[in-house]
Amino acid sequence: MKVFRWLMVVPGAVLGMMIGSLAGGLVFTIFGSQSLIDAGSAFFGCFAHVFAAGMIAPSSRFKTALVFSGLIAFLAIISFVLSVGTNIVGFANQPTLDKVLIPVAQILGALYAIFLLPTMVIPGTTLQQIHIQIISLGATVVFFGIPISFAGLLVGLFARTWVGLTTGLGVLAVGAATWLFPFMHLFFRLHRVEAKLEQLASTNVIGKGIPWESIKGRFLTVIKFTPNSSVRGSTVKANSSFEPYGMLTVELLDHDTPILMPVLHRLDFLNLWRIFNDEVITSDEEVIVTYDPDKWLGKFMPHIPIMTAPKNTVKKLASVEKLSPMPISEWVAIQDSIKFYWKPLHPGSELQAGIKLWWWRFRK
């Protein structure tokens, strides 16, 4: 079976290129320009060619995709050189725009396939990892567009043709849009989550009737954890893209009634899921949370520090004004009470244990 799949890599990649080219050409007919139709066909054809090769390969998929993308880049450069430096029929008689645009589109198609392939073939890939990959892709495309724009500017100044500069600026725009996409996706997702919260009748919801900043650093005792997602291994599957991963019913000392705290980040939800479903706590213990957002990205990053401690610990700590992100070893005043403490840092942070010296690392 493995040998058969290796034998099918090249035919499958060729078939993928044919299908991709046809689909890309059909999609770009909406622009009405033959040059753009040809560029769309070149982009999607090369993307499908590299992607299909990587998907069909039984092993070393990324290396296989690199080989096929390198071949495409080599042929694209050869095509460009032949079209601008020779009189060979079929190359030299192409429209000026096609001479630059089509090779660039071919290389871009291969680039996008290289960056997006791992997100499809690596089991357990999370949305956060996909976003990181897309951001890296956008930055790479921008760096690819810079020399094209600079070379196009020089050619335009001397030859009075601005095809290269226009193409380079187009590549920069595509790269910038790709780089911004994950941030826009997170922004709209959070916006829809907040809009969903607005539909709740109760004003005792953090982010609605209660500002997030008003609970920053304050101790909240968790009364109930209501998941709105499921967990398999380290993968969180949300029931809806427009609702929080879950809800915490929490108790704040100066509130007469419990309040609701939405869980907006996957890693926060995964930690809470492990605590409440893996029998981490006992009946004589309580879970304590607070709000400690990243300075720049706020709720876009994990932002719920979690502790477990004996019951009524929060009341004993009522005199502590703020939960500061210091190491457990420095928590002299409350060290005997805290069972473990987890502080969100960034993707890859540990669930850090205190007294019992546990170390749990959540695989992304």
**Domain ranges, ordered by start, for the chain:** 2-196, 212-361
Chain mean pLDDT for the chain: 79
């058969």: which residue's tokens? 4
Q: How much of the chain, in percent, has pLDDT values that exceed 70? A: 80
3-state secondary structure of 59: coil
Q: Which two tokens stand for residue 49?
A: 């060619």
| Predicted confidence (pLDDT) per residue in 14-41, tens digit | 999 999 999 998 988 888 888 889 999 9
Q: What is the DSSP letter of 336?
A: T
Q: How far apart are CA 291 and CA 293, in angstroms?
A: 6
Query: What pTM was computed for the model?
Result: 0.60
The winner for highest mean pLDDT among 61-75, 215-229, 310-324, 331-345 is 61-75
Report the run of H or E that residue 255 belongs to, with start and end. Answer: none
Q: What is the 3-state secondary structure (H, E, C) of 278-318?
A: CCCCCCCEEEEECECCECCCECCCCCCCEEEEECCHHHHCC
Asked whether the CA dihedral 91, 93, 96, 101 is positive or negative, the reply is: negative
Place of tokens 């060979």: 88
- Tell me if 118 sits within 8 A of 125, measured CB to CB: yes
Q: Within a 10 A sphere around the Cβ of 302, how many other Cβ atoms?
A: 27
Dihedral angle computed from the Cα positions of residues 297, 302, 307 and 313, in that order, rounded to the nearest 10 degrees: 50
